[in-house]
C-alpha cells in the first residue's frame, strides 16, 4: 500500500501524516521518488513537521496548527486546512498507523474530499529487552525518581497491564492526559510537545 501511495502521489492534493513515525515509514518506501512540488503535507506537531522538511518537503508546503494554538491536534490542524482552500473534489491521503482517530478524515470527507487511509506502520505493545525490563523494575521500585512522557493515548493503553499506577506523567494533549489518569498515573501534568514546555512541566511535578 505504501509503494502504491507513492505511485499516485503526483495526483494527490494533500497528504496528512499522523506522527513522525508515519513520516519516517512513508519515506522509507520512496524508492528514489521525489515529493511533488504542488503537494501539501499536513501534520499536528513540530516533530512531524521537522521530519517532513528533513525528507525534502518544502517548509512552505507543510501545514500544521498555528504556533499559538491551545493544543496541537486534529481540531487545530483543521482550522488551518479549512482556511487554505475548499476541499471539495480534492484527493487526500491519510498516512497513519493501524487504528487511530478518524476525526480529520471525517471533516475532509464532509467537505467533499476523497480521503484514502494508508497504513504505514502497525502499533503493538512493547516487547522489553533485558535492559528495558530492568529499567521498568527500577521505575516500579522507586516511582518518585522517574516521570513518564506520553504523546500517544495508544501508548498509554499498551502500558495499562504493567502495574504502573501512582507513577508521575506528562501528557502532550488533554485526551492523552485523560487516558493516563484512567490508567492510574498520578499526578498527570499537561504540556505542549516541545522541549521548553516539557521542562516547565517537569518543574511542576
Strands (E) located in the chain: 14-17, 40-42, 62-63, 91-97, 114-121, 148-150, 169-171, 188-190
The reply to whether 117 and 134 lie within a common domain is no
Last residue of a domain, which of 73, 89, 121?
Answer: 121
CA end-to-end distance (rounded Å), the chain: 44
The reply to whether 95 and 138 lie within a common domain is no
Average pLDDT estimate for 28-51: 94
The reply to whether 9 and 74 lie within a common domain is yes
Closest CA to 113 of 95, 84, 93: 93
CATH of the domain at 64: 3.40.50.10090
196 three-state secondary structure: helix
- What pLDDT sits at residue 35? 97
The reply to whether 163 and 197 lie within a common domain is yes
Average pLDDT estimate for 80-99: 94
More confident residue, 68 or 24: 24
Confidence of residue 11 (pLDDT cuts 50, 70, 90): very high
The Cα–Cα gap between 24 and 21 comes to: 5
Last residue of a domain, which of 68, 98, 121?
Answer: 121
- What pLDDT sits at residue 78? 97
The reply to whether 140 and 93 lie within a common domain is no
Residue 152 reports pLDDT greater than 90: no
The Cα–Cα gap between 39 and 37 comes to: 6
* Eight-class DSSP state of 149: E
Last residue of a domain, which of 121, 148, 173?
Answer: 121
Predicted TM-score of the model (pTM): 0.80
Question: pLDDT for 93-138, tens place per residue?
Answer: 999 988 777 899 999 999 999 999 999 998 777 889 999 999 999 9
Residue 71 reports pLDDT greater than 90: no
Q: Are 27 and 55 in contact (CB under 8 A)?
A: yes
Q: Which domain holds residue 180?
A: 130-204
The reply to whether 135 and 101 lie within a common domain is no
Task: Strand 169-171: give its sheet, edge to edge.
Answer: 148-150, 169-171, 188-190
Confidence of residue 49 (pLDDT cuts 50, 70, 90): very high
The reply to whether 101 and 159 lie within a common domain is no
177 three-state secondary structure: helix
The reply to whether 113 and 161 lie within a common domain is no
The reply to whether 62 and 80 lie within a common domain is yes
Q: At what angle do helices 103-110 and 74-84 cross, to 10 degrees?
A: 20
Sign of the dihedral defined by the CA atoms of residues 41, 43, 49, 55, in that order: negative
- What pLDDT sits at residue 111? 97
Per the prediction, the chain carries an average pLDDT of 93
- What pLDDT sits at residue 70? 83
Question: pLDDT for 154-185, tens place per residue?
Answer: 889 888 888 888 999 999 999 999 999 999 99
* Eight-class DSSP state of 96: E
Q: How many domains does the chain have?
A: 2
- What pLDDT sits at residue 200? 96
* Phi, psi dihedral angles at 87 (to 5 degrees): -90, 5
The reply to whether 114 and 134 lie within a common domain is no
DSSP assignment of 16-70: EE-SHHHHHHHHTT-TT----TT-EEE-SSHHHHHHHHHTT--GGGEE---TT-S
Average pLDDT estimate for 58-63: 97
The reply to whether 29 and 58 lie within a common domain is yes
Average pLDDT estimate for 10-16: 97
- What pLDDT sits at residue 125? 78
What nine digits make up the cell of 136?
521498568
Amino acid at each position: 500500500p505504501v509503494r502504491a501511495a507513492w505511485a499516485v502521489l503526483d495526483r494527490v492534493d494533500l497528504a496528512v501524516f499522523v506522527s513522525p513515525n508515519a513520516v519516517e515509514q512513508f519515506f522509507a518506501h520512496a524508492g528514489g521518488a521525489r515529493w511533488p512540488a504542488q503537494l501539501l503535507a499536513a501534520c499536528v506537531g513540530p516533530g512531524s513537521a521537522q521530519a517532513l522538511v528533513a525528507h525534502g518537503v518544502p517548509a512552505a508546503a507543510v501545514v500544521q496548527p498555528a504556533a499559538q494554538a491551545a493544543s496541537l491536534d486534529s481540531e487545530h490542524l483543521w482550522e488551518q486546512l479549512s482556511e487554505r482552500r475548499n476541499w471539495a473534489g480534492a484527493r487526500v491521503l491519510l498516512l497513519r498507523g493501524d487504528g487511530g482517530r478518524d476525526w480529520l478524515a471525517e471533516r475532509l470527507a464532509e467537505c467533499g474530499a476523497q480521503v484514502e487511509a494508508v497504513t504505514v506502520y502497525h502499533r503493538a505493545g512493547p516487547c522489553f529487552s533485558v535492559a528495558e525490563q530492568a529499567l521498568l523494575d527500577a521505575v516500579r521500585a522507586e516511582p518518585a525518581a522517574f516521570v513518564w512522557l506520553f504523546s500517544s493515548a495508544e501508548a498509554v493503553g499498551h502500558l495499562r497491564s504493567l502495574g504502573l499506577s501512582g507513577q508521575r506523567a506528562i501528557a502532550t494533549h488533554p485526551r492523552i492526559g485523560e487516558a493516563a489518569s484512567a490508567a492510574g498515573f498520578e499526578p498527570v501534568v499537561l504540556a505542549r510537545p516541545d522541549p521548553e514546555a516539557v521542562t516547565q512541566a517537569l518543574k511542576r511535578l
